[in-house]
């Protein structure tokens, strides 16, 4: 059985937690060839500690220790945990998303690509941590909710809207309110991803859900396109 065939809980159990990084602490500014690795290790350490201790319980000192760097090195990059969390959100969405093809042959292909992409992003371990954090009532998390919404709009809704508009123009049709369909695509996919992780085989698999979500969105788009212009 491959890792892709395992249930969500089995996949989590099959992936052992990575040990803390052991890095020789350097004085002064790190060389350029190490700076990128340090940045990546900070985000990885932050995600792990946010998962283990929660956002409020993960101290900057603990993040530095887990990343194998000094507190000074960490504070040179980030003023506080909120700044780290912002980079965590941005890096997860940007790195997990697959690049778009040059063009989509039809609207079904366009919507399917984005639904599959959203399922993949939701399955990222870091994104699962962020989604769990968003369900808690921490004042800091509520404060950052507007930033998370901004990132979702920039990297999610607006991007999907543009591909829907481009695809509809290629097909010679007009999709009314493409932002509604883009936001609905994300809402449906993220909600089902959470249900699948909680219930597993009791609900549709992401592959089956993708087909049904796309079918639902296509029905709405086709209905709008058939209606007179408003």
Number of domains in the chain: 2
Percent helix, percent strand, percent coil in the chain, to nearest 5: 75, 0, 25
Instruction: State the greatest distance between any 2 C-alpha atoms of the chain, in Å, as a whole number.
Output: 69
Percentage of the chain modeled with pLDDT above 90: 43
Q: Is residue 6 part of a domain?
A: no
Q: Is residue 191 part of a domain?
A: yes
Whether residues 26 and 65 fall in one domain: yes
Taking Cα atoms as reference points, which of 219, 156, 159 lies closest to residue 190? Answer: 156
pLDDT digits over 9-54, tens only?
A: 444 443 334 444 445 554 555 555 677 889 999 999 998 898 888 8
User: Is pLDDT of 72 > 90?
Assistant: yes
Whether residues 117 and 183 fall in one domain: yes
Q: Is residue 168 part of a domain?
A: yes
Whether residues 216 and 136 fall in one domain: yes
Instruction: State whether the Cα torsion 88-94-97-98 is positive or negative.
Output: negative
Provide the whole-model pTM. Answer: 0.67
Whether residues 41 and 149 fall in one domain: no
Q: Is residue 87 part of a domain?
A: no
Range of the domain at 24: 17-79
pLDDT digits over 73-110, tens only?
A: 999 999 998 889 888 877 777 766 677 788 899 999 99
Cβ contact 141:86 at 8 Å = no
Cβ contact 175:223 at 8 Å = no
Whether residues 218 and 104 fall in one domain: yes
CATH at residue 29: 1.10.10.60
Whether residues 120 and 210 fall in one domain: yes
Which of the four pLDDT bands, split at 50, 70 and 90, describes residue 129?
A: confident
Whether residues 67 and 123 fall in one domain: no
Whether residues 100 and 72 fall in one domain: no
């Amino acid at each position: 059985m491959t890792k892709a065939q395992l249930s969500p809980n089995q996949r989590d159990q099959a992936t052992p937690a990575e040990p803390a990084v052991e890095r020789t602490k350097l004085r002064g500014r790190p060389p350029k060839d190490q700076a990128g690795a340090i940045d990546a290790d900070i985000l990885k350490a932050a995600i792990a500690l946010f998962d283990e201790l929660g956002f409020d319980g993960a101290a900057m000192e603990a993040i530095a220790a887990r990343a194998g760097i000094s507190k000074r090195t960490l504070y040179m990059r980030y003023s506080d945990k909120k700044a780290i969390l912002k980079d965590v959100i941005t890096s997860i969405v940007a790195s997990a998303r697959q690049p778009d093809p040059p063009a989509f042959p039809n609207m079904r292909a366009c919507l399917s690509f984005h639904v599959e992409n959203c399922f993949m992003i939701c399955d990222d371990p870091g994104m699962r941590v962020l989604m769990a954090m968003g369900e808690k009532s921490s004042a800091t998390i509520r404060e950052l909710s507007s930033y998370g919404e901004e990132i979702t709009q920039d990297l999610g809704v607006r991007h999907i809207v543009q591909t829907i508009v481009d695809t509809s123009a290629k097909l010679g049709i007009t999709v009314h309110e493409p932002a509604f369909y883009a936001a609905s695509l994300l809402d449906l996919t993220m909600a089902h991803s959470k249900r699948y992780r909680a219930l597993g085989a009791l609900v549709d698999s992401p592959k089956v859900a993708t087909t049904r979500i796309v079918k639902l969105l296509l029905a709405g788009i086709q209905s709008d396109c058939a209606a007179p212009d408003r």
